[in-house]
Chains A and B, each alone.
Chain A
Amino acid sequence: MDGIPIHFYLGVSALLFFLGLVTILARRNLVYILLGVELILNAASLNFVTFSRYGGNLDGQIVSIFVIILAAAEAAVALAIVLNIYNVFKNVDVDTPSELKN
């Protein structure tokens, strides 16, 4: 593990972040959009763990555990909201709920 330069990890994390953004911006299905959000959070987690590994203290790893927990909480609420959207609008297309606008 120590043989791998830190840039590789940061690169993967940046890629994850980017993929998350693309998912969020491009997918129609709300569930996939939520998955994109998870990707972003995982990118940050990966960064934390990487820096923790290379920086010499454990703080980052602890943060990543908290991030996982909070992501789960957030996903639970988000999924509930998406389910509710499905109940109300009868589909999970991201553009269907767009009645609130100027």
Chain B
Amino acid sequence: MDSFSLSQFGAFDLALMLVILLLPLLSFVILIFVGRKLPRQGDWLATMNLSICLGLALLLFAKMLVHEEAPELAFRSAAVAGVDAAGNGVIEDYNPIWVDVIGFVVKPGILFDNLTAIMLVVVTLISTLVHFFSIGYMHGDPRYSRYFAYLGLFTFSMIGLILSDNLLLLYVFWELVGVSSFLLIGFWFEKPSAASACVKAFITNRVGDFGFFIGIAILFTSFGVLGYHELFSALSADPTAGGTLSAGLLTAAGVLLFMGAVGKSAQMPLHIWLPDAMEGPTPVSALIHAATMVAAGVYLVGRLFVVFTPEALLVIALIGALTAIFAAFLGIVMHDIKKVLAYSTISQLGYMIAAIGVGAVTAGLFHLMTHAFFKALLFLGSGSVIYGMHHHQDMREMGGLRKKMPITFACMFIATLAISGVPLLSGFLSKDAILAGALFQWMVPGSGGPAWLYALPFVLLLMAAGVTSFYMFRLIFLTFFGETKSEHADHAHESPKVMTVPLIVLAVLAIGSGGLGLTSHLGIGTHWFNDHVAAPTLDVNEPNGAFLNTRSTELVLTEDEEHAEHSSHTIAMICSLLVAGTGIFLACCFYLWRKLSAAKVAAVLAPVHRTLENKYYFDNLFVGVLSKKVIVGGLNRFLWWFDATIIDGIVNLTARITRVLAAIQGLFDKIVVDGLVNLVGLVTIVWGFFAQRLQTGRIQTYLMMFLIGFVGLAAAFFLIG
């Protein structure tokens, strides 16, 4: 094993990654078993573990920045290191076999490339900040230690998802993420709304995962491999997989894989779980809905970009764009501050998905990162507001909080500027890149469908940009400006340092994370993100690969296309500035200067308003389909039972051992002593009136008779003859 060096990736880095992966799991295991007995219920342990993870992730990230060649597939599940000629450290000397069924072998592996490095930093950073913030926010909760345990489990699953190098492992962690988010959203399961929200999230995600799994199955049956690397090379070597895969089937596989992302990343029509998931603790909302879980879908689509055919990409782009615009509209009519942010998240996720759909993979992933920072900031900021307002979330009760909570206000304002796409902030850069990508797709349409369909993403996304800045400024104005509108607002106070410091850190990142990229707009140097995360490509020479998407097969542009690409950036930037400005201006008119009345507009547009308030009736539809009474009700009770029986059972394990011993003794009494008594009684009964009296109504008697009858038959069989 070589030692750590900045210039090369080696086995030492693998060890680091394993540490990053396992530390959160460790804190989960410790906290779930003995968390209550630790000083401060173990919050320091979880936070410390995560901080170490963050440090290590930053180390790897720094190394990635220094490293000139982007390490592609740096590690393959190895304990012994080796470095190939390009310095990329492909290590395959030792592969523990994980699954081996009739020659089909799955090996657990770690895939580390620049995207992984960036995602690692995002996840660990947000998670660490959420840990810190939660120390304040969850203070005094009866299940404080279990909360941190769940956070650990969630972080572990998320890191595993990022690090895994094959679809099966990804799927396993994908489901783990689902489970832990279920636990976190339903953390306050005494609240019926929280209990049903977590069930809803879980079920909705299952719908998507169903498709996801079939998609994996199609790819696997065609190519027989599950690793990304093997899959991509098999795809480029023979896109038809020896004739078993046709364009239609690959499109289907792509759309099915995308279904998983639709569920996890809350795209229409499976977005319904996300707003409800706001019932969980607010830091959880920041963790799950800003940076990590919902990003998993985007990450998946980005990772598997080359698998999608042009048709599948068009579907992805359209769903993403539609989600972006529809969810943005919903943000306008919400009153709950977290609901606004929830729809805003859905809308922004739509942006990312659409970006990948139009082929701007880098832009989409870039937005994923910048969004993670400013959305986490917004959520934690809203958490701070809610905390200050004594857990009241309705914006109509707020107002005038600017002076009472200056730090929170400043941080949230920065985030709002970022999400609205105001220049010089991170959101501007990423959003702009996406719009440019969409515009380019309009100018140079792909082969997946009629050309006019390719125009839609740009138009919709541009509209969404305007709406976004409108509702975000509405939120700021309603919350922080004007008169205080309730007693709680009067008595609001700034949150403690443990909560504000994470806000400040995130605010710096919301400004700066894209900042390095500014240089490219000014024409100096290049964009750091672009430099390090390139769109995945395939090297296909065969003619029968024609159905793969050209974005990934040929990156050489014609002269016209190159021209289009250049102009698209300029046009997109101007357009986005215009619409964002309009949105902000309108928000000022409505909510700051009160020149226009929102109520009047709502009255004029009554049917529209009603549709929006009912969230396009999606929930009504799904509640019907999911049959609230049967499934949701049953699962709720199951959750109760699960938490009360299983989890508590594990926790109280030590206390139970004595009871188990007692129970064994009781069993002896029951079986031998009672059994004898029963047997004597039985004989009398049988001879009394055997036909009727045995039907005692007690199940265990019936089963005892089942057993006795069985033994009797066996005895008869062996005794006869």
Residues of A at under 8 Å CB distance from B? 21-22, 24-26, 31, 33, 58, 76, 79-80, 83, 94-95, 97-102
Chain A residues whose C-beta falls within 8 Å of the C-beta of B600 in the assembled complex = none
Give the CA-CA distance A23 to B102 in the complex, in Å.
37
B653 proximal to A (CB < 8 A): no
B659 proximal to A (CB < 8 A): no
A26 touches B696 (CB 8 A): no
Chain B residues whose C-beta falls within 8 Å of the C-beta of A79 in the assembled complex = 638, 641
Question: Which residue from chain A places its CB closest to the CB of B696 in the assembled complex?
Answer: A101
CB contact between B697 and one of A80, A83, A100 (< 8 Å): that residue: A100
A100-B697, A101-B695, A102-B693 given; A25·B634 CB < 8 A: no
CB contact between A102 and one of B638, B667, B692, B707 (< 8 Å): that residue: B692
User: Measured between C-beta atoms, what is the minimum distance from A58 to chain B in Å?
Assistant: 7
A98 touches B671 (CB 8 A): no
In the complex, the 9 A-B pairs of residues with the closest C-beta atoms, listed nearest first: A101-B697, A98-B697, A102-B695, A102-B692, A26-B670, A98-B698, A26-B667, A101-B695, A95-B698
B703 touches A98 (CB 8 A): no
B670 touches A94 (CB 8 A): no
A25 touches B695 (CB 8 A): no
B703 touches A24 (CB 8 A): yes
User: Measured between C-beta atoms, what is the minimum distance from A75 to chain B in Å?
Assistant: 10
Chain B residues whose C-beta falls within 8 Å of the C-beta of A80 in the assembled complex = 634
Chain A residues whose C-beta falls within 8 Å of the C-beta of B692 in the assembled complex = 102
A101-B695, A102-B692 given; A83·B700 CB < 8 A: no
CB contact between B637 and one of A21, A33, A83, A98 (< 8 Å): that residue: A83
Q: List 14 A-B contacts (CB under 8 A).
A: A25-B700, A25-B704, A33-B699, A58-B102, A79-B638, A83-B634, A94-B700, A95-B698, A97-B699, A100-B697, A101-B695, A101-B696, A102-B693, A102-B695
- 20 new A-B contacts, CB < 8 A, other than A25-B704, A83-B634, A101-B696, are A24-B700, A24-B703, A25-B671, A25-B700, A26-B667, A26-B671, A33-B699, A58-B102, A80-B634, A94-B698, A94-B700, A95-B698, A95-B700, A97-B699, A98-B696, A98-B698, A98-B699, A99-B697, A100-B697, A102-B692
Question: Which residue from chain B places its CB closest to the CB of A30 in the assembled complex?
Answer: B699
B645 proximal to A (CB < 8 A): yes
Give the CA-CA distance A96 to B591 in the complex, in Å.
63
B697 touches A25 (CB 8 A): no
Question: Which residue from chain B places its CB closest to the CB of A98 in the assembled complex?
Answer: B697
Chain A residues whose C-beta falls within 8 Å of the C-beta of B637 in the assembled complex = 83
User: Measured between C-beta atoms, what is the minimum distance from B662 to chain A in Å?
Assistant: 13
User: Number of residue pairs across A and B with beta carbons under 8 Å?
Assistant: 43
Chain A residues whose C-beta falls within 8 Å of the C-beta of B697 in the assembled complex = 98-101
User: Measured between C-beta atoms, what is the minimum distance from A37 to chain B in Å?
Assistant: 10
Chain B residues whose C-beta falls within 8 Å of the C-beta of A83 in the assembled complex = 634, 637, 641
Give the CA-CA distance A83 to B641 in the complex, in Å.
10
Chain A residues whose C-beta falls within 8 Å of the C-beta of B707 in the assembled complex = 21, 25
A94 touches B699 (CB 8 A): yes
Q: Chain B: interface residue count, which band?
A: 20 to 34
Residues of B at under 8 Å CB distance from A? 101-102, 634, 637-638, 641, 645, 667, 670-671, 692-693, 695-700, 703-704, 707
Chain B residues whose C-beta falls within 8 Å of the C-beta of A76 in the assembled complex = 634
Give the CA-CA distance A76 to B638 in the complex, in Å.
9
Chain B residues whose C-beta falls within 8 Å of the C-beta of A21 in the assembled complex = 707
Chain B residues whose C-beta falls within 8 Å of the C-beta of A26 in the assembled complex = 667, 670-671
User: Measured between C-beta atoms, what is the minimum distance from B470 to chain A in Å?
Assistant: 46
Question: Which residue from chain A places its CB closest to the CB of B691 in the assembled complex?
Answer: A102
Chain B residues whose C-beta falls within 8 Å of the C-beta of A100 in the assembled complex = 697
Is chain A's interface secondary structure helix, strand, loop, or mixed overall? helix
Give the CA-CA distance A57 to B357 in the complex, in Å.
45
Give the CA-CA distance A101 to B637 in the complex, in Å.
30
User: Measured between C-beta atoms, what is the minimum distance from B22 to chain A in Å?
Assistant: 27
Question: Which residue from chain B places its CB closest to the CB of A82 in the assembled complex?
Answer: B641
A58-B102, A94-B699, A101-B697 given; A22·B645 CB < 8 A: no
User: Measured between C-beta atoms, what is the minimum distance from B48 to chain A in Å?
Assistant: 38
User: Measured between C-beta atoms, what is the minimum distance from B606 to chain A in Å?
Assistant: 43
User: Measured between C-beta atoms, what is the minimum distance from A12 to chain B in Å?
Assistant: 19
Give the CA-CA distance A50 to B638 in the complex, in Å.
33
B693 touches A22 (CB 8 A): no
User: Measured between C-beta atoms, what is the minimum distance from A79 to chain B in Å?
Assistant: 7
Give the CA-CA distance A26 to B671 in the complex, in Å.
7
Question: Which residue from chain A places its CB closest to the CB of B670 in the assembled complex?
Answer: A26
Give the CA-CA distance A99 to B634 in the complex, in Å.
26
A31 touches B671 (CB 8 A): no
Question: Which residue from chain B places its CB closest to the CB of A31 in the assembled complex?
Answer: B645
Give the CA-CA distance A31 to B634 in the complex, in Å.
16
User: Measured between C-beta atoms, what is the minimum distance from B334 to chain A in Å?
Assistant: 35
User: Measured between C-beta atoms, what is the minimum distance from A101 to chain B in Å?
Assistant: 3
Chain B residues whose C-beta falls within 8 Å of the C-beta of A33 in the assembled complex = 699
Question: Which residue from chain B places its CB closest to the CB of A100 in the assembled complex?
Answer: B697
User: Measured between C-beta atoms, what is the minimum distance from A10 to chain B in Å?
Assistant: 17
A31-B645, A79-B638, A83-B637 given; A22·B667 CB < 8 A: yes
Give the CA-CA distance A100 to B696 in the complex, in Å.
8
Give the CA-CA distance A99 to B102 in the complex, in Å.
54
Give the CA-CA distance A8 to B695 in the complex, in Å.
39
User: Measured between C-beta atoms, what is the minimum distance from B299 to chain A in Å?
Assistant: 30
Question: Which residue from chain B places its CB closest to the CB of A24 in the assembled complex?
Answer: B703
User: Measured between C-beta atoms, what is the minimum distance from A4 to chain B in Å?
Assistant: 18
User: Measured between C-beta atoms, what is the minimum distance from B675 to chain A in Å?
Assistant: 9
Chain B residues whose C-beta falls within 8 Å of the C-beta of A22 in the assembled complex = 667, 671
Chain A residues whose C-beta falls within 8 Å of the C-beta of B696 in the assembled complex = 98, 101
User: Measured between C-beta atoms, what is the minimum distance from B30 to chain A in Å?
Assistant: 27
User: Measured between C-beta atoms, what is the minimum distance from A86 to chain B in Å?
Assistant: 9
Give the CA-CA distance A26 to B678 in the complex, in Å.
13
Question: Which residue from chain B places its CB closest to the CB of A76 in the assembled complex?
Answer: B634
Chain B residues whose C-beta falls within 8 Å of the C-beta of A24 in the assembled complex = 700, 703
Give the CA-CA distance A101 to B696 in the complex, in Å.
5
Chain A residues whose C-beta falls within 8 Å of the C-beta of B695 in the assembled complex = 101-102
Give the CA-CA distance A100 to B704 in the complex, in Å.
17
Give the CA-CA distance A98 to B638 in the complex, in Å.
25
User: Measured between C-beta atoms, what is the minimum distance from A6 to chain B in Å?
Assistant: 20
User: Measured between C-beta atoms, what is the minimum distance from B359 to chain A in Å?
Assistant: 40
Chain B residues whose C-beta falls within 8 Å of the C-beta of A97 in the assembled complex = 699
Chain B residues whose C-beta falls within 8 Å of the C-beta of A94 in the assembled complex = 698-700
Give the CA-CA distance A59 to B576 in the complex, in Å.
61
Chain B residues whose C-beta falls within 8 Å of the C-beta of A31 in the assembled complex = 645
User: Measured between C-beta atoms, what is the minimum distance from B706 to chain A in Å?
Assistant: 9
User: Measured between C-beta atoms, what is the minimum distance from A88 to chain B in Å?
Assistant: 14
User: Measured between C-beta atoms, what is the minimum distance from A19 to chain B in Å?
Assistant: 10
Give the CA-CA distance A98 to B701 in the complex, in Å.
11
Give the CA-CA distance A80 to B707 in the complex, in Å.
26
User: Measured between C-beta atoms, what is the minimum distance from B31 to chain A in Å?
Assistant: 26
B698 touches A25 (CB 8 A): no
Give the CA-CA distance A79 to B638 in the complex, in Å.
8
User: Measured between C-beta atoms, what is the minimum distance from B244 to chain A in Å?
Assistant: 22
Give the CA-CA distance A45 to B409 in the complex, in Å.
60
**Of residues A26, A33, A95, A98, which shows the largest number of chain B Cβ atoms within 10 Å of its Cβ?**
A26
Question: Which residue from chain B places its CB closest to the CB of A21 in the assembled complex?
Answer: B707
Give the CA-CA distance A27 to B1 in the complex, in Å.
55
